[in-house]
Amino acid sequence: MSRIRAAVIGGGANGEHEVSLASAAAVAASLDPGAYEIVRLTIGRDGTWRDGAGDPIGLAAAVGELQACDVALPIVHGPGGEDGTLAALLELAGVPYVGSGLRPGAFAMDKWVTKLIAQDLGIAVAPGRLLTAGTAAGYAWSGPVVVKPVAAGSSLGVTLVSRPGELAAAIAGALRHDDRVLVEQVIKGREIDVAVLKNPDRVLTSPTLEIVGDGIFDYTAKYGGETAKFLIPAPIEPAAVAAIEDAATAMYEALGCRGVARFDFFLTEAGPVLNEVNTMPGFTEHSQVPRMFAAAGMPYPRLLDTLVGLACGHG
Q: Say which of 65, 83, 218, 276 is annotated catalytic.
A: 276
37 catalytic? Reply is no
Cα–Cα–Cα angle for 54, 55, 57, rounded to 5 degrees:
125
Q: Say which of 40, 50, 258, 262 is annotated catalytic.
A: 262
How far is it, in rounded angstroms, from Cα 58 to Cα 55? 9
Q: Say which of 278, 291, 300, 305 is annotated catalytic.
A: 278
Q: Say which of 252, 264, 287, 305 is annotated catalytic.
A: 264
Q: Say which of 51, 103, 189, 223 is annotated catalytic.
A: 223
278 catalytic? Reply is yes
Buried residues in 108-121 as b, exposed as e (16+ CB within 10 A): bbbbeebbebbeee
Q: Say which of 14, 20, 23, 154 is annotated catalytic.
A: 154
275 catalytic? Reply is no
282 catalytic? Reply is yes
100 catalytic? Reply is no
- The type of residue at 214 is D
262 catalytic? Reply is yes
Q: Say which of 10, 84, 153, 282 is annotated catalytic.
A: 282
Q: Say which of 10, 14, 16, 128 is annotated catalytic.
A: 16
Contacts of 44 (CB under 8 A, 6+ apart): 11, 13, 50, 56
Active site residues: 16, 154, 223, 262, 264, 276, 278, 282
